[in-house]
Each structure stands twice: as structure tokens, then as C-alpha cells.
Structure 1
Amino acid sequence: MDEITEENTTMPMQDTPTPVPPDIDWLLQDLVSLANRTGMTIGITLHIGGSIISGLLIGGGQYFRQFAETFAAGFPEGDFASGMRSAYERHAKLYEDTDDDSLPSYIHLADARVFEPSGRSIPSESGTLWRGRISSVAGFHIGSLSVTRR
């Protein structure tokens, strides 16, 4: 019988499940892919270029449906507003192919706020939709920051 040693009982660990450029966090890409495919939402805080952005991670399809409604609401109801809504809702279809194995390049947040070092957020009352490049994210943590009232 062979002797059990650490060398023959441990599985080799692979740091990245798929090849990605070293400046892109594969774990964040995986979370975004999951949100895009399943509609999962989760609080997340991103560190980007010295800024802290916090909100609710949403899929790209949900982002574009909400964006279309918000953008079209800025116009008087009618054909033009309806056309604007339809134009942006079309982008949501890009995220409906659940068999697409391509890695996401963008992350989408709802109820997003940018936090200043003082702890104040922009916007201060309610968050907004936010879209950014995953390659710009330096770090992240699960959970969104809350606004403190003084």
C-alpha cells in the first residue's frame, strides 16, 4: 500500500478557471456572468481609480430595461418617448442568450452611489443606474455601503 503524503492527496489548484487578462478579476467576471445569466442581484462595493462605488449588482438585461424606462421618462409621452424606450430596451436582448460563454466586459449596478472620503455619497438621496468596465475595477467586496444621515 502506498504511503499517503501531501503530494498525492492534494489537488492542484488553478487560480483562474478560464484564461483572462491579468488586469481583470476573474471572480468579479464570474459574479457578473451569474447576474447576467440568472437575474441574481447582490449588494457590491467597487474600488475604481480612488473612488468607491456601491450599489446592487444587476444583470445587463435588467440594466438596459431600467435605463430605457428612465431615459424615456424624460420625454413627453408619445411616439418619440416610445421610440427611445424601444431603442434602449433592444440592448437587453444581448444578455438573454444564456448559452453565451463569453466573458463580460461591463458591470451594471442599480441604486449606485459614489462615496467621498468623508462618507457622503453622490447622489445623496437615492442611488442611480451605473455601468462601468470590469477592467477598471481595482477591488471589490460583497455588500453595499449605506448612507449615514447627520
Structure 2
Amino acid sequence: MKTPQSDLSLTTLVSIVNETKSTEIAVTLTTKGGIITGNLVSALRWAELNSELLAAADISSGSEALIHFFDKHAEGATEHIAAIERVRDALEDVDLGNHYQEALREIEEPSYIHLKNAHYVVGSAILPTGEGTPWRGRLSEVIGWTLGELRST
């Protein structure tokens, strides 16, 4: 079975947001599961948002483990971006063959997209009402997208 390909433009946009860390862009995504709208954020910011939500919720004594999980995810995102930058710097003046250039591009390409303040569009309703939630999805599962966020009237 052939693996679905991610939209190159959306993948590039996600890469830029991941590398700049603080950039946010309003987007609306179409997936097999429905329409999702929110602000595109970096993997680092998504992990930070989840840690902040858990810390504020004070849900149980087990929340420390969940906060630790998202803190480690944030560290991993930061380390991944730093590693990509080191490889780019090291290979800046090196003439690599096409095979190696393709391999490097695959390592650099993000696999997931992260939203802040995500809402699901269900019929004419946008859920949840009020503030949305952090959301993460596979880029290869996004069927279509547009800049801008849907709002209820």
C-alpha cells in the first residue's frame, strides 16, 4: 500500500513555523475525520501548551508524569531543530549527490502538524465553544488546507 504524500506547501509552512518557534499562523485543515481550524504552532509550542494545561488543571497526582512527558517532547523538538541546523551548517559547502540530498530532506521534513486553540467544525457549529485545545495530527492525513481560521457567526 502506498503511503500518502503530504502537501509540499503545507509541509514547508510547518517547517518554517517549527524552526522559528514563536510564529503562529491561522489555518483550517480538512482531514478524513472532519475540518479543524486553529493556529499553526511549532512542535515545541504545542508541547509547552499541553504542559501548561496540565499544570493549570491540577487533575491528579499522576499529572506530574504527563507534564514530564510533554516537557521531554519539547526538549526533543528543540534538539531536533538544533541538529538539523548543525547538519545544514556542516554541509553548507559540500557537494552531495542527489541520493544524499533526498535523504537529508526526508530527515528535515516534519511528519506532524500542531495547532493551538484548535476547534472542530461540525455542521454549522464550531466546537469547543470558547477557547480551543492544542491539537496534533499527521501531515500525510491532511487532505486540504487554507490560511485563516473559521469562526462561528
- Corresponding residue SS for 2:27: strand
Q: Which has the higher contact order (CA 8 A, sep 6+)?
A: 2
CA RMSD of aligned residues (A): 2.1
Cα offsets for 1:87-143 (capped at 9, x unmatched): 32110122212442521111000011011222x111012211111000100010011
Match of 1:16 in 2: none
The number of equivalent residue pairs is 126
Contact preservation (8 Å) 1:37, 1:95: no
- Corresponding residue SS for 1:23: coil
Decide which moves more: 132-141 or 83-92. Answer: 83-92
Q: Which runs of structure 2 are paired with 1:1-150 in the superposition (5 Å)? A: 23-39=5-21, 40-49=23-32, 51-75=34-58, 81-96=63-78, 97-100=81-84, 102-118=108-124, 120-148=125-153
Higher helix share: 2
TM (normalized to structure 2)? 0.73
- Corresponding residue SS for 1:138: strand
Cα drift, residue 77 of structure 1: 8.2
Cα drift, residue 85 of structure 1: 2.0
- Corresponding residue SS for 2:120: strand
Cα drift, residue 69 of structure 1: 1.8
| Structure 1: segments with no counterpart, 5+ residues | 1-20
- Alpha carbons of structure 1 residues 82 and 146: separation in structure 2 relative to 1, 3 Å: same
